[in-house]
Homo-oligomer: A and B are copies of this chain.
C-alpha cells in the first residue's frame, strides 16, 4: 500500500513502530469500536460511518500487525469475526487516555458509556504517569535519563514494593 517513508527511523523509541501499526486515520476509532464490543465489518461500518474500502484496508492492517484476529464464524461462514488479541487489548490505556484528554480539553461532552471497575462499578482513575511506587507524577517531577545510566533498585526496596 504505502510507499511513503515509514516512521521507523524517526528516533530511538517505540513510538514510530506504534504509529506504523495504528497511526493512520480511523485506526483509533476502529480500536475504540473493538473495545466497545464491535466484531463485524458491517458493525464497524455503520457505527463509524467510514468508507468500506478504507475500513477493509484498516482491518486488514490491524490483523497484519497482530492487533486483531480475523475468524470466519463456524455456523455462518459469511460472517467474519474480528477480535482483539492480547497485543491489541494492551492498547486500552492509550485509547482511554486519549479519550479522557479529549473529554477534558476538547468538546467537554461527558463520554458514554464509561469504563468502570466491575467490582464496585466505579469509574476508572484518570490515566496518569506514576512512579514505580504509585505516586502520581507531574511534569515537574520528571526528567529524561539515558537507559544505560539507570541503577536498579536495591533489594530491600524491591521487596517492600512487591509486598
Binding site for B on A (CB under 8 A): 7-21, 23-25, 28-29, 32, 36-37, 47-49, 66, 87, 89-107, 109-125, 127-132, 134-135, 137, 139, 141-148, 150-151, 153
| Cβ–Cβ < 8 Å partners of A95 in chain B | 15
Q: How far is it, in angstroms, between the C-alpha of A150 and the C-alpha of B150 when the chains are bound?
A: 43
Within the complex, which residue of B106, B107, B118, B137 is in contact with A142, where a contact is CB–CB below 8 Å?
Answer: B118
| Cβ–Cβ < 8 Å partners of A127 in chain B | 93-94, 97, 127, 129
For A126, the closest partner residue in chain B by CB is B93
Q: How far is it, in angstroms, between the C-alpha of A14 and the C-alpha of B95 when the chains are bound?
A: 10
Within the complex, which residue of B15, B49, B111, B151 is in contact with A98, where a contact is CB–CB below 8 Å?
Answer: B15
Cβ of B103 and Cβ of A97 under 8 Å apart?
Answer: no
Cβ of B147 and Cβ of A111 under 8 Å apart?
Answer: yes
| Cβ–Cβ < 8 Å partners of A19 in chain B | 28-29, 98, 102
Q: How far is it, in angstroms, between the C-alpha of A142 and the C-alpha of B64 when the chains are bound?
A: 27
Within the complex, which residue of B10, B120, B124, B132 is in contact with A49, where a contact is CB–CB below 8 Å?
Answer: B10
